[in-house]
Amino acid sequence: AVRVFPRPVAGPLRPVVHPPTVRYNSKVRLGRGFTLEELKAAGVSKHVALSIGIAVDHRRTNKSDKSFKANVQRLKEYKSKLVLFPRDAKKPKASEATAEEQAKVAQITGDVLPIKERVSKLETIKLSTIDAKASAYTTLRKARSDARLVGIRKKRAEEKKNAPGAAK
């Protein structure tokens, strides 16, 4: 830990990804690195990302907009908490930390921004509010049948209206 100070002990920041295969893809885990698109959306270049402790994977692609936005948000949160030590202590840049800020810094010993567990909230309703007589299967079959026969029914109605013996 002393050797890598002030960097986090656990290594660079990694993205939250969904594993492949049906068995595991409902869970999330830490991936290898952020995509170049995620870095661009967060306003970080590839080389700067590597220098400030952000893992980069140029082969990974974004397939889900929801995951993309979550990882961009993760990068922005990391950037807001990041304290950059100046390369030259005599001439610190505007984005780098001052001597007082550097003194306050504590090294992160656990995971960098650990994954937050998602709590699935189930909606409960009383059984009395559900119509026991109605069948979901019957309702769907009726709707499907109506959608399929709409043209034929329209044609028959026009024929009936235009037929000569329709004046009864």
More confident call, 110 vs 155: 155
The yes-or-no verdict on residue 164 having pLDDT over 90 is no
What tokens does 151 get?
Answer: 């043209």
The yes-or-no verdict on residue 62 having pLDDT over 90 is yes
Q: Which residues pair with 29 in a beta bridge?
A: 17
The predicted structure's pLDDT at residue 34: 96
More confident call, 69 vs 114: 69
Note if the pTM is more than 0.85.
Answer: no
Cα angle value 104/9/37 (rounded, 5°)? 95
Whole-number Å distance between alpha carbons of 31 and 24: 14
Under a CB-based contact definition with an 8 Å cutoff, are residues 46 and 36 in contact?
A: yes
The yes-or-no verdict on residue 97 having pLDDT over 80 is no
